[in-house]
């Protein structure tokens, strides 16, 4: 079975500062990894995903995540955040048969001016 740990429940940061949201997973088999975002009063939506190939994946709004198999991590980073990035971010994992998508407890990113 897969599991996900997001150690930071809340990350406060100033606008234009860099940010890293941590995600570690546990699995005995190969995995797919995902970051989902939930903006205030909106539904969850996919931000980016790693399936195979390049270990560095990017989103259209400047976020990136790197799959590190040896450290079983998939941390999310952005070099310069905007107020509009304020949201809750969820890391998720599934096996490559895509059974049972499992989410972490989420990290609330709070960007202030």
CB 87 to another protein: min, Å: 14
> By three-state DSSP, how is residue 93 classified?
strand
Selected range binding another protein among 11-19, 21-29, 78-86, 99-107, rule: CB under 8 A:
99-107
CB 61 to another protein: min, Å: 16
b/e sequence 4-16, b meaning 16+ C-beta within 10 Å: bebeeeebebeee
Interacting residue with another protein among 90, 93, 109, 111 (CB under 8 A)? 90
Distance between CA atoms of residues 53 and 50, nearest Å: 8
Residue 51 makes contact with another protein by CB under 8 A: yes
Please list every residue from 27 through 46 that binds another protein, using CB under 8 A: 32, 34, 36, 43-46
Q: CA 52 → CA 31, 37, 79, 107, distances in Å?
A: 9, 21, 24, 25
User: Contact residues for another protein (CB under 8 A)?
Assistant: 6, 9, 32, 34, 36, 43-46, 49, 51, 90, 94, 98-106
């Amino acid at each position: 079975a897969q599991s996900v740990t997001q150690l930071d429940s809340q990350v406060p940061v100033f606008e234009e500062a860099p940010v890293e949201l941590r995600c570690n997973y546990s699995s005995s088999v190969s995995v797919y990894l995902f970051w989902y975002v939930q903006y205030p009063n909106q539904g969850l939506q996919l931000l980016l995903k790693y399936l195979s190939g390049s270990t560095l994946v990017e989103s259209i709004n400047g976020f990136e995540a790197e799959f590190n198999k040896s450290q079983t991590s998939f941390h999310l980073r952005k070099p310069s955040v905007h107020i509009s990035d304020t949201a809750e971010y969820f890391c998720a994992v599934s096996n490559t048969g895509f059974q049972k998508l499992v989410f972490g407890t989420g990290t609330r990113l709070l960007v202030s001016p």
